[in-house]
């Protein structure tokens, strides 16, 4: 387990379990700033991880 994202005060905001395919917890709300034309990188990464797992990668 590691903290990989922090706010401007240095407080942890993203927690990852790097040994799993894609696991993170965040206090951010990426879907709030995401759109079809400009998807948030966190959501793109999740979709790519799902696709890789579905394809056996």
- pLDDT tens, residue by residue, 34-52: 999 999 988 898 899 889 8
Token pair, residue 52, equals: 């890789």
Indicate yes or no: pTM above 0.75.
no
Strands (E), the chain: 2-6, 12-16, 24-26
- pLDDT tens, residue by residue, 2-38: 998 898 999 998 899 988 877 888 888 888 889 999 9
Q: What is the pLDDT of residue 10?
A: 94
Q: What is the pLDDT of residue 57?
A: 66
Q: What is the pLDDT of residue 3?
A: 93
Token pair, residue 23, equals: 């696991």
Question: Which DSSP letter does residue 52 get?
Answer: H
């Amino acid at each position: 387990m590691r903290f990989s994202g922090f706010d401007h005060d240095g407080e942890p905001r993203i927690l990852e379990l790097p040994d799993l395919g894609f696991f993170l917890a965040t206090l951010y709300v990426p879907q709030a700033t995401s759109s079809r034309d400009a998807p948030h990188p966190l959501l793109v990464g999740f979709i790519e991880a799902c696709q890789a797992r579905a394809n056996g990668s």
